[in-house]
Amino acid sequence: MKFLELGLNEDLLKAIKRSGFEEATPIQAETIPLALAGKDVIGQAQTGTGKTAAFGLPILQNLDKHEKTIQAVIIEPTRELAIQTQEELFRLGRDEHARVQVVYGGADIGRQIRSLKHHVPAILVGTPGRLLDHLKRGTIDLSKTKTVVLDEADEMLDMGFIQDIESILKYVGERKQTLLFSATMPKPILQIGEKFMHDPEVVKIKAKELTADLIDQYFVRAKESEKFDIMCRLIDVQGPDLALVFGRTKRRVDELTRGLQARGYNAAGIHGDLSQARRMSVLKQFRAGKLEILVATDVAARGLDISGVTHVYNYDIPQDPDSYVHRIGRTGRAGQNGISVTFVTPNEISYMQTIEQLTKKKMSPLRPPTDDQALHGQLKQAKSEIEDLMNGDLSKYEDDANELLENYSALDLVAAFLKNLSKDSTDVKVKITPEKPLPYKGDGRHRRGHHGRSGNYGQRRNNNNYRGRRHTDGGHRNRRNYGHDFVIKNKKD
């Protein structure tokens, strides 16, 4: 369905066109008309399905431009998502001259208070803790708020924010509308709907859209000590445009980041111990394509809305199956295929089986690429770099080039250049501190039965335009990895 058919005004349609969108996503097509009509809505949809526009466009259209009060409040689970939501609403509401402000913890509350006092926003976006802090201080007034949005409600439940949310809602006067969005609908979320919503309309994305059909999901059986080298070889051959690597702990994220950087990958990490300024700087670089690999903990990555992620590597399998869905949901967006690879130690197989039950999709076993395949990937990247260099002005190097040609053959010189660019880094040893695998849960057969691995494992893209990175320490070849040989799968041209 086109946005033209949804009853939006000209200014908003202009903003949508400026953003390059024409077709509404399913959650937008179903939610926007209901929200415009003032109805309460419970929407079940994952991050990356266009929820911000689904609730933001109706809010922007229904604003009273003459009223100097907070007309809508949007509650987000994390600082990053709150900032992203504020930025998107600002872009969409630019022609409406809508004032949108964001408040979150970890920032100077004094500056937020001065800004709120100087210009009362029509739309306030914030994290639960900081919103509650402002309410208790009396620096914001929600008594005349018409619309409340609870975004990523299950994330807020996981993070222990439900009581804060209930406290915030008590500060809101006779609101006209409540919109709740969640990837899953556990009982506490439904209880909030029952307690604070009036005859809500339920919008539920079809199951197939919730099980990430556009994501090719793989697993690699590996010992703890083998995982880093295998992941490096996979990155060499798959050549992701943008990749997310998930680690279980802050220490793990730091060590993975340092290890990837030592081997020549363009990587950075984020976790809860980093300053807000540092986290935002890393995310800005990643979104701009200045970083190729972002390493993160689940908490740091919650609510991240980043387009263009082609690969997700679960260095550590998540204990919570819902976390797996959120992780891999960072790729396979906007109709594009994505790839996820999960590393599983032998006694973590039951956790993988539980994840498969949740997603209703089997992960395909993946045999890691060999050292030769990894080197081939690096050389592919090196040749691509040489082609880029050939487009520049090389005239000032001709004299030295002729001098070299007098002493060496052109073949030897090119081979030496390729060797230098591919950087065989088998001497770059990386030690990742071992962490205990998740506790053994049994073989899981009583839960999953004895059926085989059948069905559609996703579209396979077999083009050969893959890019390598730096060569990895191939000392550990994982001969225990069962399953098909490595398949070169990477981005489309």
C-alpha closest to that of 45 among 201, 206, 172 = 206
Mean pLDDT of the chain: 80
| Average pLDDT, integer, range 353-380 | 77
pLDDT band at residue 254 under the 50/70/90 scheme: very high
pLDDT of residue 172: 92
Chain position carrying tokens 């089986």: 353
Q: How far apart are CA 473 and CA 374, in angstroms?
A: 10
Phi, psi of 29 (to 5 degrees): -60, -35
The structural domains of the chain, with segments of one domain joined by +, span: 3-209, 211-493
pLDDT band at residue 179 under the 50/70/90 scheme: very high
**Domain formed by 3-209, architecture:** 3-Layer(aba) Sandwich (3.40)
Give per-residue pLDDT as tens, 104-132: 998 899 999 999 998 999 999 999 999 99
pLDDT of residue 174: 79
Whether the per-residue pLDDT at 10 is higher than 50: the answer is: yes
Angle at 339 between CA 336 and CA 342, to 5 degrees: 155
pLDDT of residue 1: 80
Give per-residue pLDDT as tens, 418-452: 666 665 555 688 888 888 777 655 443 333 333 33
Q: How far apart are CA 21 and CA 129, in angstroms?
A: 34
pLDDT of residue 382: 64
- In the sheet that holds 41-44, the strands lie side by side as 100-103, 123-126, 72-75, 147-150, 177-182, 41-44, 201-204
* Global confidence as pTM: 0.57
CATH topology of domain 211-493: Rossmann fold (3.40.50)
Whether the per-residue pLDDT at 148 is higher than 60: the answer is: yes
Give per-residue pLDDT as tens, 236-249: 888 888 999 999 88
pLDDT band at residue 378 under the 50/70/90 scheme: low
Q: Is 467 exposed, middle or buried (0-12, 13-18, 19+ CB in 10 A)?
A: buried
Q: Which of 113-122, 171-180, 267-276 is the most confident on average?
A: 113-122
pLDDT of residue 439: 63
Whether the per-residue pLDDT at 476 is higher than 60: the answer is: no
One DSSP character per residue, 340-383 reads: EEEEE-GGGHHHHHHHHHHHT-PPEEBPPPPHHHHHHHHHHHHH
pLDDT of residue 19: 74
Domains 3-209 and 211-493 share a fold: yes
4 against 486, higher pLDDT: 4
| Average pLDDT, integer, range 91-100 | 90
Is the CB of residue 69 less than 8 Å from the CB of residue 140?
no
Q: How far apart are CA 138 and CA 316, in angstroms?
A: 44
Chain position carrying tokens 């399913």: 26
